[in-house]
Structure 1
Amino acid sequence: MGKYEPLAQFLSASQAEEQPLQFSEVEQMLGKPLPSSAFQYREWWANQNRSQSKAWMDAGWQVWSVDLGGERVVFRRTHHPRPQGRPTSGESAPSGPWASPAIRIPEGRLGPAAMKIIENYAEEHGCDQAEAAAALLDRAGLNHRSALFDRLDALAMKQDSVSSAELIRQDRDRDGR
């Protein structure tokens, strides 16, 4: 078992799409202190091919944000890792929305740069290109969705709140779509 495997197991078991943790909680999971560089350098938390990041990335997660001063990290799910191996006689094949990708992009519809981004993401995260495309699309829309939900929450406090459909129309018009 690798040094960061307990963190990977925790994240794998999580049903959340986002998992905020205090550094002290990570240390508690690991049963040992984080290295001092984790408290000093944001790069320690980078989603690169290092032992710590490989653990959470193999589990289908990425570090989304790090607050060194507050000693907090936020992980976001990037994909649901595929089960290792084939089902044994007592197991059934995976089912549900993650069993097979639903994205179908006709060949030639994406330019070379977009295809390279998808290929790199798939290789980096150990998933197929359809899963990579889905994760990239989801990440691209995440900031927009977060801002929309923040606005909806803020408006819910007001007596004269605007409908969510109206907010979406305003966003569309503001973005020139």
Structure 2
Amino acid sequence: MRTLKVQLKEDEHTLLDTEGRTALTPEELLALLPQLFGLKQAPPLPLATRKYLPLSEYLSDSDDSVLTLSFADIENLLGFTLPASAKKHRAWWSNSSTGHSQAAAWLNPGWKVAGVTRTTVTFQRQKREDMHIITGRVGGKSAGYDLNLIWSAQELKGRIGGALSGSDVNLRIEHGRVQGRVGGRNSGFDVKGILTPERIEIRLGGDVIGADLRIDLHDSTATGRLGGTKLGHDLQLTQKSSEWCGRIGGRFEGKDVVLSSEAPGEIAILAAAITFKALEDDLAAAAGS
């Protein structure tokens, strides 16, 4: 047990002064603080390529809803000349970070590229209703992963697990098809398949090493299976208001799921499934090391 002392002050006024005993670790206490005080944390997103961070910081600090910058303005912010493709091809300014690492410079702080001319780029702040937050946990207190994701502009991005033990999520979902990756180049898995409000048919991993995800969604209930008939896990989740709760796997080898989601149901179920697979993969790797 640890002694916890909390003291909050505003100027010279003491707002809270309390002391108690707790079994929680310092890391767990820090994670709980936003919930204790009713705060809503923005999910940590993968950082933009370091050299584009000055643009990201400039957009973060702006109070405007629309900004038009010339290529010269952007180059002055960055301190180097933009690549030739940025001035020739509209695709360089894509609002998808898949294959365009520079896009994180405007997507992470909540902006998108609204237009590009021969000499300028117009950035537009994304509306709050276009950004849907998914948070929660898959697994228990000791063996589990938190998830902090954002569904925005046809992309599911963010992080599952912790800062050290966990994986970045970068998925593109468009016209009922999902494609992308969970984790890095060497450790992680590809995600590819079909995603609709009624049905999910997705492959998590490669053709040889991976698992199929097949889920039916009906009347606020999601049921199906991750993996094959023998080596697989049943999935059953139920939506109540903005929460999805249930279990992936059986009574002994499975994991509980509790999600708070503003995103469509099929996006929330996909988030739960990729978190479960990432957790299971990491637990298996740790056991084999």
TM-score by length of 2: 0.29
User: Larger radius of gyration, structure 1 or 2?
Assistant: 2
> Which structure has the higher relative contact order (CA within 8 Å, separation 6+)?
1
The structure carrying a bigger strand percent of its residues is 2
TM-score by length of 1: 0.46
